[in-house]
Amino acid sequence: MTKELFLYNTLSRKKELFEALNPPHVGLYVCGPTVYGDGHLGHARPAITFDMVFRYLMHLGYKVRYVRNITDVGHLENDADEGEDKIGKKARLEQLEPMEIVQYYSDRYHKNMDELNTLHPSIEPRASGHIIEQIEMTKKILNAGFAYEVNGSVYFDVEKYNEKHNYGKLSGRVLEDLKANTRELEGQKDKRNPFDFALWKKAQPEHIMHWPSQWSDGFPGWHIECSAMSSKYLGEYFDIHGGGMDLLFPHHESEIAQSQTANNTDPCKYWMHNNMITIGGKKMGKSLNNFITLNEFFTGDHKLLGQAFSPMSIRFFILQAHYRSPLDFSNEALQAAEKGLKRLFTAMETIDKLTPSDDSTVNLKELSQSCYDAMNDDFNSPVLIAHLFDGVRIINSINDKKETISKEDLVLLTKTYHDFVFEILGLKAESSGTQNDLSAELMNSIIAIRQKAKENKDYSTSDMIRDELKKLNITIKDTKDGAIWDFED
């Protein structure tokens, strides 16, 4: 019924049938954040994309080990592997221990991820906790002859690697082009070639984050952490490696080179890359300083935001675009997502009120299959959502007695929406938080009073009640079965 899953492999630039290396187990590695600032909308995309992948694979019955790292060291501030470590810089500025910064922003990142309802990874390793593994891998690359030591630093020899392998097979780069186009930068005199990258960097005296090694007191290069940690927890050759498209080159390309030289294998079978979120057509990112943090979205406290947007609105907004397409931020688009999501949830509440008939006039099996087909086609969540909205129309028609549904189909309908909306898309109803017993009792009383007024055709009173409640963001809707109410922040 679920048929086969196809996913787009960046390595082949084609959709490929997904076949787990060691079924039912699947290894999934995703590049996580560098924790030196609050997470923004751009960070939400890979988190939600691969959360969906994680959820769907589990739904299909796979036992998934999902590893998402936290980069807390070795990520350099500027050009040419010569800059100051990002974490270290922030720490000095704020007179804090580096690990204090890491803890602070990790906590905030986790809180945001929980708000977005992403499942926790199976393992969330930190680069700083795997210095030994990174040193060991660097040694293997040195011993294999694909790296060289200069002044206490170790660099990967890209040119030599390219003699036997293809540096650029993932990103489509050609080394000759890289030679022609790599900018001349200050302070990379240690490197044989400007496109060589650091495996280990000797720490300058002002660096406050450094570890001892046989080469120098220093810190690991940028790319080695993912290679070291993924091979440690998922093996030298695992199923899926994911991340943002901006990491394709040089980060992921270099991971391949490291794995090939240290382990004689590609790190993984499938490479998946999510596209960027843009704002005004430009990539939202730290470097352009055009980002809006997730906390700002949740509070509405940003000059570009017309209102606050709930975590689920953000999640739905992201899922309404395919993960490989760019997605442009705008208030209008977010509002549309917010309203669409509400419509979906309203219909799901309606499902519980449906009364089954002897037979169905609607085809639920087809709907369910369409949902699976969409997900199996490279996790096409926007098409899935379109099918779910088709189902909304069906649900409403049944509720209006224009269509009928059998008991059996009603079970399928309930399961389909539960599975796809809650389990796979990871959406959840956002309670207002104020609907406790007392307010429910109060509202019942108020509605009863208003009902009495209506029966007496005292519409000025009934309308006054409705208008006054509206000021409190409580909406009264009269239905055939009496009035219902709805509160939103």
Footprint on residues 109-138 left by RNA (CB under 7 A): none
Q: Which is closer to RNA, CB of 191 or CB of 269?
A: 191
Q: Which of 21, 17, 20, 14 is nearest to 6 (CA)?
A: 17
Q: Which of 244, 267, 311, 426 binds RNA (CB under 7 A)?
A: 244
343-382: which residues touch RNA (CB under 7 A)? 343, 346-347, 380, 382
Q: Minimal distance in Å, beta carbon 195 to RNA?
A: 6
Under rule CB under 7 A, residue 180 binds RNA: yes
The piece of 61-69, 150-158, 179-187, 202-210 that touches RNA (CB under 7 A) is 179-187
User: To which residue do tokens 């949830």 refer?
Assistant: 345
Which region, judged by CB under 7 A, interacts with RNA, from 138-146, 210-218, 321-329, 437-445? 321-329
Q: Look-up: residue for tokens 């087809």?
A: 366
Nearer to RNA, 138 or 313 (CB): 313
- The Cα–Cα gap between 127 and 134 comes to 9
Judged by beta carbon, residue 181 or residue 265, the one nearer RNA is 181
The region of 124-132, 137-145, 433-441, 454-462 touching RNA under the rule CB under 7 A is: 454-462
Instruction: Determine which residue in the list 139, 210, 283, 315 makes contact with RNA, applying CB under 7 A.
Output: 283
Q: Which is nearer to RNA, 26 or 272 (CB)?
A: 272
Closest distance of CB 83 from RNA, Å: 7
Q: Which of 4, 17, 151, 183 binds RNA (CB under 7 A)?
A: 183
Cβ closest to RNA, residue 340 vs residue 356: 340
- Tokens at residue 45, please? 């995309």
Size of the site for RNA (CB under 7 A): 93
Applying CB under 7 A, the span of 87-95, 200-208, 272-280, 354-362 interacting with RNA comes to 272-280
25/207 with CB nearer RNA: 207
Tokens read off for 263: 């382990």
Tell me the window of 231-239, 259-267, 325-333, 353-361 that interacts with RNA (CB under 7 A).
Answer: 325-333
Options 64, 170, 337, 446; binder of RNA; rule CB under 7 A: 337
Q: Name the residue nearer to RNA (CB basis): 20 or 197.
A: 197
Site for RNA in 80-109 (CB under 7 A): 80-81, 86
Q: Are 432 and 488 in contact (CB under 8 A)?
A: yes
Q: Which is nearer to RNA, 103 or 451 (CB)?
A: 451
Note whether 395 and 417 are within 8 A (CB).
no
Q: Which of 19, 22, 23, 78 binds RNA (CB under 7 A)?
A: 78
Instruction: Restricting to residues 193-222, name those near RNA by CB under 7 A.
Output: 194-195, 222
Q: Taking CB under 7 A as the rule, does residue 399 contact RNA?
A: yes
What minimum distance in Å lies between the beta carbon of 370 and RNA?
A: 10
Closer CB to RNA, residue 20 or residue 268? 268
Q: How far apart are CA 97 and CA 228, in angstroms?
A: 25
Stretch near RNA under the rule CB under 7 A, chosen from 120-128, 338-346, 417-425, 433-441: 338-346
* Shortest separation between residue 335's beta carbon and RNA, angstroms: 6
Q: Is 397 in the site for RNA (CB under 7 A)?
A: yes
- Kindly state the smallest distance separating residue 63's Cβ from RNA, in Å: 25
Q: Among 11, 31, 73, 87, indicate the residue that binds RNA (CB under 7 A).
A: 31
Residue 21 CA to residue 420 CA, distance in Å, equals 26
Near RNA in 249-268, by CB under 7 A: 249-251
Q: For 284-289, which contacts have Cβ atoms below 8 Å and span 24 or more sequence positions?
A: 284/40, 284/41, 284/42, 284/329, 285/42, 285/246, 286/37, 286/40
Please identify which residue in 9, 69, 71, 134 interacts with RNA, judged by CB under 7 A. 71
Among residues 340, 404, 406, 439, the one that binds RNA under rule CB under 7 A: 340
Q: Is the distance from CB of 272 to CB of 249 less than 8 angstroms?
A: no
Could you give the CA distance from residue 264 to residue 140 in angstroms, rounded to a whole number? 11
The reply to whether 149 sits near RNA by the rule CB under 7 A is no
Asked if 272 and 10 count as a contact pair (C-beta separation under 8 A), the reply is yes
* CA pair distance 317, 306, nearest whole angstrom: 16
Site for RNA in 427-446 (CB under 7 A): none
Residue 478 touching RNA (CB under 7 A): yes
The residue from 69, 134, 153, 171 that contacts RNA (CB under 7 A) is 171
Contacts to RNA from residues 45-64, by CB under 7 A:
45-46
Question: Which residues have a Cβ under 8 Å from the Cβ of 485 and sit 6 or more positions away?
Answer: 443, 447, 469, 474, 475, 476, 477
